[in-house]
Amino acid sequence: MERITDTLKILNEEDKQNLDNARISVDESNDGKRKLYIESYGCQMNFADSEIVASILRDNGFATTSKYEDAELILLNTCAIRDNAEQKVRNRLQHLIPIKKKNPLVKIGVLGCMAERLKAKLLEEEKVVDMVVGPDAYRDLPRLVEEAETGQKAVNVFLSREETYADITPIRLDSNGVTAFISIMRGCDNMCSFCVVPYTRGRERSRDPHSIVKEATDLFNQGYREVTLLGQNVDSYKWSPENSENAESVNFAQLLEMVALVNPDLRIRFSTSHPKDITDEVLYTMKKYENICKYIHLPAQSGSTRILELMNRTYTREWYINKIDRIREILGEECGISQDIIAGFCTETEEDHQETLSLLEYVKYDYGYMFAYSERPNTPAAKKLKDDIAEDVKKRRLNEIIALQQRLSFERNKLAVGKVHKVLVEGFSKRSNEHLQGRNDQNKVVVFPKEHFKKGDYVNVFVTDCTAATLIGHSVTEELV
């Protein structure tokens, strides 16, 4: 019973993959520097952006702190993906009013997707805010801070077609020293009808592959053993050199290979893949390199072709299923696959919902991130479709999807029992300092007794037990089977 409650918590909508959980900046040594506090919401790309922001501001005399009470500059890097993500930020801003009253010299900035969505309107709505800065304007932060310090309100929400921050070395905030994220592209050119990201992040652009390989190499030399390549749609990564005469362009499969070759002991992951763009070439590259993890996050959003069409996902249920079959064919049954699903999209019927449940049954996802549809202003869905599914129906369908995923996760994890898994140790387990925790190739969390192992080690773990969220085992000396 305890196990079930435990894992339910992990898959609970409010608790999912940091999507709505804030991350706060760390205490840097700050001799003589001014203190900066950054709180980040949303996806991994936003967390990666905060590390770029910290780097830009460090060059301008700021060091990060974990206590907002101590900071001269408070930045919230925000998410706009669902209404509750924005509400969280608004509540947070209310909490900051007394801080500002106590010390009017403190400046408060809103960065990220909510800043981009609301622009200067945010200054009117939330009086405590001094700066509104969109995701492509972070190089301008030093100037904007100066402007705010003269008592004016400062805004830059310009979206760029080129900015990739390729030359900026991020300051790793909140890092375990073993795993790190590398942004490989920005923006999104897809037009999923429910989604605000194309409006908050702008057009898709890819970062110079050589700067990516250099960042991965530097991380490896600093002791990191895993990098996750980040983008809204990594499979459409495409970089072409400017003024190219002989130089070739680089696609995602080629980039994967370039990063895999940095060192066989550096694990590579990537997120997110759009089902329409992941190619056989990518799957074969994954197969070719042991250090590219056999795990794919492949958001389906719905199992109903009719709903997928309204969502403008550009694939059908059958097409998606074919893609899954192809993954299993090339990478084997064991390849980890996870999903994103939206429950209760406009016009969704019980039959559509049943199709989503049956898709889950078919794929047998290892885990997933599940959401109730939240209408976002000015998106194609908000303009053309009615948000007509009652909240209680959305919640009920969402709960059915979560419960089914819970069972499937448990079933998939049971298949891992009785086998040896190569685990990259990330630190102590959440519950005890006698146990370590890491992940296997398929991105499953594995917990085992510490013995003499430490962070950053690869350990062969024989798995003896599992919950829907965790594998449990002990180290063995024999090789993987």
CB of 223 closer than 8 Å to CB of 179: no
For residues 97-116, one letter each, b for 16 or more C-beta atoms within 10 angstroms of the residue's C-beta and e for the rest, the string is: eeebeeeeebbbbbbbbbbb
| 3-state SS track over 28-46 | CCCCCCEEEEEEECCCHHH
- Residues numbered 180 to 239 that lie near ligand F3S (CB under 6 A) are 196-197, 200-201
Contact status: 65 vs ligand F3S (CB under 6 A): no
CB of 6 closer than 8 Å to CB of 469: yes
Contact status: 123 vs ligand F3S (CB under 6 A): no
Amino acid residing at 381: A
State the minimum distance, in angstroms, from the CB of residue 112 to ligand F3S.
6
In the shown chain, the binding pattern of residues 254 to 283 toward ligand SAH, with x for contact by CB under 6 A and - for none, equals ------------------x-x---------
Between 60 and 190, CB nearer to ligand SF4: 190
Cis peptide before 272 (omega within 30 of 0): yes
Can you give the length of the chain in residues? 481
- Residues numbered 273 to 302 that lie near ligand SF4 (CB under 6 A) are 274
**93 SS3 class:** helix
In the shown chain, the binding pattern of residues 157 to 196 toward ligand SF4, with x for contact by CB under 6 A and - for none, equals -------------------------------x-x-x--x-
Q: Which two tokens stand for residue 288?
A: 């070719």
Residue from the set 233, 406, 409, 429 that interacts with ligand SF4 by CB under 6 A: 233
CB of 39 closer than 8 Å to CB of 75: yes
Amino acid residing at 181: F
How open is the CA angle 34-37-42, to the nearest 5 degrees?
150
Contact status: 198 vs ligand SF4 (CB under 6 A): yes
Give the residue carrying structure tokens 């074919």: 322
- Residues numbered 369 to 388 that lie near ligand SAH (CB under 6 A) are 371, 373-374, 376
Contact status: 79 vs ligand F3S (CB under 6 A): yes
Residue 198 interacts with which of ligand F3S, ligand SAH, ligand SF4, none, CB < 5 to 8 Å by class:
ligand SF4
Residue from the set 128, 342, 446, 472 that interacts with ligand SAH by CB under 6 A: 342
Contact status: 470 vs ligand SAH (CB under 6 A): no
Per the DSSP assignment, residues forming a β-bridge with 461 are 421, 475
Between 81 and 144, CB nearer to ligand F3S: 81
Q: Which two tokens stand for residue 378?
A: 């000015």
For residues 253-264, one letter each, b for 16 or more C-beta atoms within 10 angstroms of the residue's C-beta and e for the rest, the string is: bbbbbebbebee
DSSP state of 479: P
Stretch that binds ligand SAH, among 7-15, 214-222, 367-375, 424-432 (CB under 6 A): 367-375
Residue 316 interacts with which of ligand SAH, ligand F3S, ligand SF4, none, CB < 5 to 8 Å by class:
none
- Residues numbered 49 to 68 that lie near ligand SF4 (CB under 6 A) are none
Contact status: 194 vs ligand SAH (CB under 6 A): yes
> Alpha-carbon distance 265 to 314, whole Å?
37
> Alpha-carbon distance 452 to 130, whole Å?
51
In the shown chain, the binding pattern of residues 98 to 127 toward ligand SAH, with x for contact by CB under 6 A and - for none, equals ------------------------------
Between 232 and 338, CB nearer to ligand SF4: 232
State the minimum distance, in angstroms, from the CB of residue 1 to ligand SF4.
37
Contact status: 133 vs ligand F3S (CB under 6 A): no
> Alpha-carbon distance 15 to 367, whole Å?
13
State the minimum distance, in angstroms, from the CB of residue 195 to ligand F3S.
8
In the shown chain, the binding pattern of residues 241 to 280 toward ligand SF4, with x for contact by CB under 6 A and - for none, equals ---------------------------------x------
> Alpha-carbon distance 164 to 471, whole Å?
38
Contact status: 44 vs ligand SAH (CB under 6 A): no
Q: 293: closest CA among 302, 278, 283?
A: 283
Q: Which two tokens stand for residue 20?
A: 């709505």
Helix (H) or strand (E) segment spanning residue 6 = helix 2-11
Contact status: 81 vs ligand SAH (CB under 6 A): yes
For ligand F3S, the binding residues (CB under 6 A) are 42-43, 45-46, 79-81, 112-113, 196-197, 200-201
For ligand SF4, the binding residues (CB under 6 A) are 188, 190, 192, 195, 197-198, 232-233, 274
